Chain A
């Protein structure tokens, strides 16, 4: 996937565990794991908003385009 999720990186920077984030954001741990491991197909704006608010960061800090065009 050309879009990488850097959730684990931001968690380390904010010294927060996934469980803690799950409680703050109101998204299940299972769903956050899906996001963290890069298995997610889509992310809701509401989820992105909540994570950004909880980690005090920008969407760009969480998502990164790796450069390869989609489908390769």
Chain B
């Protein structure tokens, strides 16, 4: 049986996770306030714009090749803030509500992941990394990562597909950029689930070890 760990790594990690925890709490509060404001139809204060990056690739045509683009009516157009990363400012309430809900789900997921990570770290620090609870925590983290990544990517892709014809960039053609969707989170989630399985075995071995005199 190993004693409580006082390693600098564990201390640094717990400090970082604590900071992340409070950041996530603040993020959740902001997102909740945002959702309430959007649903309630409260006007954003002056200077606050609701923006999100979209997985859209931009291709610029040469001057000679560019055809006169379709004119997008002012009220349907989406304000584009940057060209390399397409960041759009949502004007319609429905789009804002969807954005707020997705953001709240993502921030809640991040909060839950940080909570589980802190609980795992606490047990590692107390010298019991193979407690019965840790594989369950790892599993929860794995499923969250597995669910949240595609949610973020899928949502962004869906948004992009809806907005593609409403993005007004002169002299450019737009297409959905699949590489900007976080497929890596699926791999990461599966990896975490695998580690959870390994931890399950570790818990069994620890039990065996504890009952060996």
Q: Which residues of A contact B (CB under 8 A)?
A: 27, 31-32, 34-35, 39-44, 47
Which of B208, B211, B212, B213 has the most CB atoms of chain A within a 10 A radius of its CB? B213
The A/B interface has a contact count, at CB < 8 Å, of 22
Show 18 A/B contacts (Cβ-Cβ < 8 Å), sorted by A.
A27-B213, A31-B213, A32-B213, A34-B211, A34-B213, A35-B213, A40-B211, A40-B212, A40-B213, A41-B208, A41-B211, A42-B208, A42-B211, A42-B212, A42-B213, A43-B213, A44-B212, A47-B213
CB distance from B130 to the nearest CB of A (A): 16
- Asked whether B211 lies within 8 Å of A39 as measured between CB atoms, the reply is yes
CA distance A43 to B213 in the complex (A): 5
Interface residues of B in 155-213 (CB under 8 A from A): 208, 211-213
CA distance A34 to B213 in the complex (A): 7
A-chain residues with CB within 8 Å of residue B208 when the two chains form the complex: 41-42
B-chain residues with CB within 8 Å of residue A31 when the two chains form the complex: 213
CB distance from B213 to the nearest CB of A (A): 4
CA distance A4 to B212 in the complex (A): 15
CA distance A43 to B212 in the complex (A): 5
